[in-house]
Structure 1
Amino acid sequence: MSGIASSPADPFAPDFLIDPYPAYAALRALGPVFEIERYGVWAMAGYAEVEPALKDWKTFISGEGVGLHGMNPALPKPLTLQIDPPDHDKGRRVLGRTLSPGVARRLRETFQKEAEKKVSELIDKGTFDAVADLAEAFPMKVFPDAIGIRPDGREKLLAWSTFVFNSFGPENEILAASRKEGLAAQSWIMECCARDALQPDSLGMMIYQAADEGEITEHEATHLVRPFLTAGVDTTVNGIGNTLLALATHPDEYRKLHHRPELARNAFEEGLRYDSPVQTFFRTTSRDVEIGGGVIPAHRKVLLFMASANRDPARWDRPDRFDIERTATGHVGFGAGIHACVGQMIARLEGELIFSELARRVKTIELTAEPKRRLNNSLRGLESMPVRVTAA
């Protein structure tokens, strides 16, 4: 990799993951493309490089796996995230139809009622853990309900997605610590995604209808329900948690939201940009590609720092400032292009509803103890966030 800058940083080390943003600034300063010495991979951290690479699925392919080591044999065969067109199109088309505007309207009503119920419960408590009692509890109720899976054992969804996203990084202690629980959760999830385990008239059953119509096989339907289910949980849990933390630590911004609850959707969007739930993904080059004067050879792993792109001063004015009135459109917190998060519409709906309900009914949110980070090789989220709220 001669002729390009390199970095000794380990983007999967605990100290890096706890506070990655100063390190991202240093990586962006290395230039458009650089080497991560420890893993012998190419990398990009600026918005001008990361965003187009995410959209250029022909050059930066996903079919060789979106992790450091290619396809993980421990994970089920993918039908969306780690697969390229034309095979990718079939599954994506079915999922896209499942989330039609009509379905979204129906979900909004149900989710709204649950948001009202959840916020009432939290106001009554006064003090609570904003991760377990809100960021996890709300998405883990509404979306699995919509998919049609049974209510018991849903904590296994988080164990599974934690392991999956850890597996995209190196074989480190973070991955090792999540493996046993993650793999144990896998069989429960596959059972829940089987046709006879789903509730009638659910989103999960809509996917099986595509199998009845011969569009996909029964086996493919099961393997589409699973990533749909997990995609609607992990990014949402972390997105809500990270945005809540930003609001709790920026009381002026929360005050603004309290006075103007209509900013809720925008506040969540800014939260996704400011502290992205998905920090990094790998791609593999399908050909030699020239970037910023350097050439990345074909068949090489490239690490895309999405969260760094979302803090790039070349793209965002005062990017390290959390500003709920900012136009955050164009951030890559959910990826971009054909592999953008399949659950993002659901995540945005949940974020908008929970933050507008909080804005209307909660006057202040303050931390009562230091939040704890949950370290993950790809995701950025919280283990706990003790807070106190005062009713409006």
Structure 2
Amino acid sequence: MTATLSSSTGLPTNDADPFDHEVLEDPLPLQAALREAGPMVYLSRYDVYGLARYEQVHAALVDWQEFQSGAGVGLSNFRYEKPWRPPSLLLEADPPKHDAPRRVLTTVLSPRALRRLRDGWIADAEALVDDVLSAGTEFDAVPVLTSTFPLRVFPDAVGLPQAGRENLLPYGDHAFNAFGPDNDLVAKGAPRVAELSGWVASACRREALAPEGFGADIWAASDRGEITPEMAPLIVRSLLTAGVDTTVHGLSAVLYAFATHPDQWQRLREQPSLARMAFDEAVRWESPVQTFFRTATTDVRVGDHVVPDGSKILMFLGAANRDPRRWEDPDLFDLSRDPSGHVGFGMGIHQCAGQHVARLESEALLTALARRVRSIELTGPTRRHHNNTLRSWESIPVRVRLT
């Protein structure tokens, strides 16, 4: 996976496929090779430019003027290709189109709004943990905890109808696969695209949502003229796309981290206030969102080389989050580290608007577990779920010892 130098430009070139199943199973070797090759690498397989070092990834994320999202944050270039669904008004738009939807969603997901949910989510987490532990001390953490809890609390907060919630994870899985190339992972989800997209569109309508919740708040903003009625369902859709899968895999990451770092679990039990920091450290360490694309709006210089106008840039968020130029001992999950500044939630104007929702879900679940569980250990091989964008889990078999 080593890079070679282009004889004409001197730009490091790598012909690896970042979306190959071998890389999706273990992206760390390729990430290390790309970081060591230089500030920027030409990825010949897809004719795109790769950024894997923290400095360059962070700079691209905050520079929306030269590294635009409006041409798509996947491999597909919306300048020339029609998107498979109407583009996201938050993730796939730049100012000024991005501004009003972002303001509305930031208000809807305000700290005050989350404080109203806190007690209920903590109680729900405790009830879930009690149910799981009453059934036994050996279980697969993904289906019984990390997938279950977000689907238990978040759709209620949005105000989704009960019927059809099982569509959320497959829809999100396809949406994140679609940011990559048109490979077998995209083909796997293609037969259900119309069905899943139809359900999501229906669930985002005003009349389908509960009279109270994040969804109703977004529609109320359209009544006040802060956004148009056409924008409202697309903003609700953004919540459903980005607010479930990423949290599921973030929770899986933090439980896997504790199962493989028992000393850190003891630290959390001694200091439950570290729960939110633990989640951020796990997001840095595991990076549930591994990659996103941008498009150059002009000839952009990165280091000693230029990205031509209209070219796609692949940002390796996971590689940046383990860059030793930024982090000491980056491959360690360490609660003594300050993980702030990681790019696991993005950075700049497109930084994840729902990150505090994910932190609250994690805090509730980890706190409930820490009260009851003395230790967590793996009981067998873990299993990954491959996705073109997400670092995902299918199975984390564990044994816990109770207090």
Normalising by the smaller structure, the TM-score range is over 0.9
**Equivalent AA in structure 1 for residue 41 of structure 2:** F
Unaligned runs of 5+ in 1: none
In 1, Cα distance between the equivalents of 2:237 and 2:117?
19
1:276-296 deviation per Cα after TM superposition (whole angstroms, max 9, x unaligned): 010000000111111111111
Task: Specify the SS of the correspondent of 2:343.
Answer: coil
User: 1:216-231 to 2 correspondence within 5 Å?
Assistant: 216-231=227-242
Does the aligned pair in 2 maintain the 1:160–1:183 contact within 8 Å?
no
**Deviation at residue 120 of structure 1 after TM alignment:** 1.1
Counterpart residue number, 2:103: 93
Counterpart residue number, 2:295: 284
Does the aligned pair in 1 maintain the 2:175–2:241 contact within 8 Å?
no
Counterpart residue number, 1:311: 322
Does the aligned pair in 2 maintain the 1:123–1:362 contact within 8 Å?
no
Counterpart residue number, 1:212: 223
Structure 2 residue 35 is the aligned partner of structure 1 residue 39: no
Structure 2 length-normalised TM: 0.95
User: 1:10-159 to 2 correspondence within 5 Å?
Assistant: 10-71=17-78, 73-125=83-135, 126-159=137-170
**Deviation at residue 167 of structure 1 after TM alignment:** 0.5
Aligned pair partner of 2:344 in 333, 339, 342: 333
Counterpart residue number, 2:3: none
Task: Specify the SS of the correspondent of 1:263.
Answer: helix
1:300-338 deviation per Cα after TM superposition (whole angstroms, max 9, x unaligned): 100000110000000000001111221000000011111
Moved more, 303-312 or 200-209: 200-209
In 1, Cα distance between the equivalents of 2:101 and 2:225?
13
Does the aligned pair in 1 maintain the 2:373–2:400 contact within 8 Å?
yes
**Equivalent AA in structure 1 for residue 43 of structure 2:** I
Aligned pair partner of 1:238 in 228, 249, 252: 249
1:3-61 deviation per Cα after TM superposition (whole angstroms, max 9, x unaligned): 20011211000001111112211110110011011111111100010011101000100
| Structure 1 stretches of at least 4 aligned residues deviating more than 4 Å after TM superposition | none
Does the aligned pair in 2 maintain the 1:284–1:302 contact within 8 Å?
yes
Does the aligned pair in 1 maintain the 2:109–2:354 contact within 8 Å?
no
In 2, Cα distance between the equivalents of 1:113 and 1:193?
27
Does the aligned pair in 2 maintain the 1:159–1:182 contact within 8 Å?
no
Does the aligned pair in 2 maintain the 1:140–1:233 contact within 8 Å?
yes
**Deviation at residue 127 of structure 1 after TM alignment:** 2.1
**Identity across aligned pairs (percent)?**
48
Does the aligned pair in 2 maintain the 1:42–1:303 contact within 8 Å?
yes
**Deviation at residue 182 of structure 1 after TM alignment:** 4.2
In 2, Cα distance between the equivalents of 1:290 and 1:225?
37
In 2, Cα distance between the equivalents of 1:182 and 1:243?
31
Task: Specify the SS of the correspondent of 1:67.
Answer: coil
The number of residues matched between the two structures is 392
In 2, Cα distance between the equivalents of 1:4 and 1:277?
29
In 2, Cα distance between the equivalents of 1:199 and 1:184?
22
Task: Specify the SS of the correspondent of 2:37.
Answer: coil
Aligned CA-pair RMSD: 1.3
Task: Specify the SS of the correspondent of 1:29.
Answer: helix
Does the aligned pair in 1 maintain the 2:139–2:399 contact within 8 Å?
yes
Unaligned runs of 5+ in 2: 1-5
1:172-213 deviation per Cα after TM superposition (whole angstroms, max 9, x unaligned): 111111222344211111111111111112111010111111
Structure 1 length-normalised TM: 0.97
